[in-house]
Amino acid sequence: MGAKGLVWSASAMGVLLNEGIGDTIRVSLTPRPGGDRRDEVYAACELLQALGIRSYAPSVTACPGCGRTTSSTFQELAERVQNYVRDRMPQWKHTYEGVETLTLAVMGCVVNGPGESKAANIGISLPGTGEAPHCPVFVDGEHVQTIRGTYEELSAAFQTLIDDYVETRYPKKSPVTIDS
């Protein structure tokens, strides 16, 4: 899926949707060879979520990287968090009310990391080049702990924080009963 199609669709529809014009959208993208046509649906969902019109899944903000981040750890952690959330979402959505509005941040250094992490429901700021090897974690804007360890340990600890947050912050859905 090409960036051009995404950019053109988002810019054209974004203006209209932001003005309240339209109630149905379709994003048309040229698929990669053997690609998945569902990418068009995912792009439409992302556009609606970016505009604050509707939430479909938790949002993961990740550091874009810069000269302060010579390690790929934050990229690997962001990808792992995104995949973890995607895998857990069917069960969470079935069990917890509003979980699709969860926001997460995985940042690569102390320059933008704490700010983005504080703005998310759960955020982690990994150490950049030359920074102390510790990762402050923020929950709902408050610094709650600092974690250290290997990539695997950081990933496991962050996933546990996500699970704990979902279980304690989102109300459980009532079971649906069918009267006979």
- pLDDT value, residue 108: 83
Q: What percent of the chain has pLDDT over 70?
A: 93
Residue with the bigger pLDDT between 93 and 4: it is 93
- pLDDT value, residue 118: 92
Residue 31 Rama label (left phi>0; alpha psi -120 to 50; beta):
beta
Q: What is the mean pLDDT of residues 100-119?
A: 88
Distant-in-sequence contacts of 35-42, Cβ < 8 A, 24+ apart:
35/1, 39/1
- pLDDT value, residue 172: 95
Q: Where are the beta strands (DSSP E) in 23-154?
A: 59-62, 103-107, 122-125, 135-139, 142-147
Contact 147, 140 (CB under 8 A): no
Distances (CA, A) of 110 to 26, 68, 113, 120, 150: 39, 9, 5, 15, 18
Contact 137, 81 (CB under 8 A): no
- pLDDT value, residue 165: 97
Q: Which CATH number belongs to the domain containing residue 117 in this structure?
A: 3.30.413.10
Determine, yes or no, domain membership for 178. Answer: no
- pLDDT value, residue 139: 96
Q: Domain of residue 5: give its range.
A: 1-54
Co-location of 41 and 14 in the same domain: yes
Co-location of 35 and 121 in the same domain: no
Determine, yes or no, domain membership for 10. Answer: yes
DSSP label of 70: -
Co-location of 14 and 74 in the same domain: no
Contact 151, 73 (CB under 8 A): yes
Co-location of 147 and 66 in the same domain: yes
pLDDT digits (tens, 9 = 90+) for 45-81: 888 888 888 888 888 888 777 777 666 777 888 899 9
